[in-house]
């Protein structure tokens, strides 16, 4: 979330991306940084034990949402 804030501060369009286990952590950190809402995409958990092919599938599945998150205003 700090990365999101840093990128946004430099005028770089950004979105927050994590797995669903981090919804609460993202909300707590976003609130602490003063955001009411951060464009966020949460992919299904787990992540750590996924193969490269499974990770690519997760990324592909999230692509539309990510594009929407960085273009929606």
Cβ atoms of 15 and 71 closer than 8 Å: no
Q: Is 24 in the site for other proteins (CB under 8 A)?
A: yes
| Alpha-carbon gap, residue 24 to 60, rounded angstroms | 24
Q: Which is nearer to other proteins, 14 or 29 (CB)?
A: 29
30-69: contacts with other proteins (CB under 8 A) = 32-33
Q: Is 29 in the site for other proteins (CB under 8 A)?
A: yes
Q: Which is nearer to other proteins, 12 or 25 (CB)?
A: 25
Alpha carbon distances (Å) from 29 to 48, 61, 68, 72: 22, 26, 22, 22
| Residues making contact with other proteins (CB under 8 A) | 2, 21-22, 24-25, 28-29, 32-33
């Amino acid at each position: 979330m700090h990365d999101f804030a840093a990128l946004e501060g430099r005028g770089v369009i950004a979105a927050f991306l994590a797995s669903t286990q981090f919804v609460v952590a993202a909300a707590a950190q976003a609130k602490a940084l003063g955001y009411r809402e951060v464009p966020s995409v949460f992919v299904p958990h787990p992540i750590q034990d996924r193969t490269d092919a499974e990770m690519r599938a997760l990324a592909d599945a999230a692509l539309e949402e990510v594009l929407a998150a960085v273009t929606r205003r």
